[in-house]
Structure 1
Amino acid sequence: MTTRWQRIAVAGAGEDYATRYYEGFRARAERGEDIHGEAAFVADLVPAPARVLDAGCGTGRITVRLAELGYDVVGVDVDTTMLAVARREHPGLDWRDGDLASFELGETFDLVLLAGNIIPLLEPGTLLDVAQRLAEHVASGGVVVCGFGLDAEHLPGDCPVTDLADVDAAFGVHGLDAVARYASWDGDAFEPGGGYAVTLYAEPRR
């Protein structure tokens, strides 16, 4: 099955989209750009060597950085083409094949990270299943961190907009509340109507 992400990626970059994606970020880093905002955000939340699941890890940019910072990190993705690049470039890390709507790793994590528009790129009708699988992979007291675009300007190709309220509701069904929300991985204050949101989902305080 071709996923929504693969269709958009191939339309934009061709069949070698995974390599182009990886090389694009490497080029930015070589120009001196900071490409590690998500990992820095994680580091501000939980100290290493916490266990982190990079859900929808792609070619592994964030997984690699978290490992460099001392985290016990696993990267999982349904896109085997992207994972092949991750495994080729960083063979020593823990890469897993898995559809976020059905995966089961048999372990839990202190923090589950979804970056790079994972939520709006999900297949139609799978949001509740994804929320359940993610909730079941979070350790007691842990957190899901989810960042994605809220308008066309912050989304790739013809990716549809996903309503934040729908995402909050999906996690809420599985016992995780939205406990904090930011406008960027730099921690900027979120304002309704903004184009991007980073939300922390956790068990409600009793």
Structure 2
Amino acid sequence: MTGIDNLWLRKIAENPGHSQWYIDRFREMAARGDDLGGEARMIDAMLPRGARILDAGCGTGRVGGLLAAAGHDVTGVDLDPELIAEARRNFPSPDWFVGDLSQLDLPDRFQAIVCAGNVMTFAAPRSRVDILRRFHTHLAPGGRAVIGFGAGRDYDFTDFLTDAKTAELVPELLLSTWDLRPFTPTADFLVAVLAPAGS
């Protein structure tokens, strides 16, 4: 154990090649023709053209890059400088920044925040409510945060929804996939569409 609470940073500390492994994995998936655009298609369908979108925990930029190609104004933030460098290489149009989502402080407000790829399960448990509060702060009026992650990653779905409530975000829609299948008690994945309470 390294004493690092963030699971992604712990993986890097234990294996300095982890980020490059992740980059290579998605390059291989793209080369095979795997469908890597499901999250982006859902977000795109929710918004008008030219919407301002935050890709939170953007990794190599695969979601934000596709949304930018669809005509949206995209900003991406990730903790890992290697992944941000890969995003800048592959998708030069969006603005990509290295940053901690629990300390997010951007001048823009966003019509949508997308947080895909199990990002919330990599975050340090003590930082999760702070991240959700930062999402709340960065939403434009009428904006929504869309967060997806899998079960079995030490973050129970009910705990997540409790954390969201603490951050004054309420579910508008709960799904079990990015292709809009309904959420059920036995689902092994959650896609939560959240809005500020009272909006």
TM-score by length of 1: 0.86
| Residue equivalent to 1:50 | 51
Output the CA distance in 2 between the equivalents of 1:111 and 1:97: 19
Instruction: Check the 8 A contact 1:176/1:204 in 2, yes or no.
Output: yes
Identity of aligned residues (%): 35
| Residue equivalent to 1:168 | 161
Structure 1 stretch 166-175 or stretch 134-143: which is displaced more? 166-175
The amino acid that maps onto 2:128 is L
3-state SS in 2 of match to 1:190: coil
| Residue equivalent to 1:195 | 188
| Residue equivalent to 1:155 | none
Output the CA distance in 2 between the equivalents of 1:16 and 1:28: 18
1:168: how far off? 1.6
* Residues 136 and 79 of structure 1, relative CA distance in 2, 3 Å threshold: same
1:9: how far off? 5.8
3-state SS in 2 of match to 1:73: strand
| Residue equivalent to 1:140 | 141
* Residues 116 and 173 of structure 1, relative CA distance in 2, 3 Å threshold: same
1:51-80 alpha-carbon deviations (Å, 9 max, x no partner) = 100000011111111111111000001112
1:171: how far off? 2.0
1:158-192 alpha-carbon deviations (Å, 9 max, x no partner) = xx421222222222223220110111111112111
1:22: how far off? 2.5
More helix by share: 2
The amino acid that maps onto 1:72 is D
Structure 1 stretch 138-147 or stretch 41-50: which is displaced more? 41-50
Residue 176 of structure 2 corresponds to residue 183 of structure 1: yes
| Residue equivalent to 2:11 | 8
Output the CA distance in 1 between the equivalents of 2:159 and 2:69: 34
1:16-46 alpha-carbon deviations (Å, 9 max, x no partner) = 3333322322322222221101001101211
Output the CA distance in 1 between the equivalents of 2:188 and 2:112: 24
Output the CA distance in 2 between the equivalents of 1:30 and 1:191: 34
* Residues 48 and 22 of structure 1, relative CA distance in 2, 3 Å threshold: farther
Output the CA distance in 2 between the equivalents of 1:93 and 1:140: 22
TM-score by length of 2: 0.89
The amino acid that maps onto 1:166 is D
The amino acid that maps onto 1:128 is V
Q: Unmatched 5+ residue regions in structure 1?
A: 152-159
1:205: how far off? 5.8
| Residue equivalent to 1:98 | 99
1:77-103 alpha-carbon deviations (Å, 9 max, x no partner) = 111222122223334430112111112
Instruction: Check the 8 A contact 2:77/2:99 in 1, yes or no.
Output: yes
1:132-183 alpha-carbon deviations (Å, 9 max, x no partner) = 11100011111000000112xxxxxxxx421222222222223220110111
Number of aligned residue pairs: give it.
196
1:111-139 alpha-carbon deviations (Å, 9 max, x no partner) = 00110001111113111111111100011
Aligned CA RMSD, in angstroms, stands at 2.0
Instruction: Check the 8 A contact 1:58/1:77 in 2, yes or no.
Output: yes
Instruction: Check the 8 A contact 1:53/1:112 in 2, yes or no.
Output: yes
Q: How does 1:1-150 map to 2 (within 5 A)?
A: 3-8=6-11, 14-150=15-151
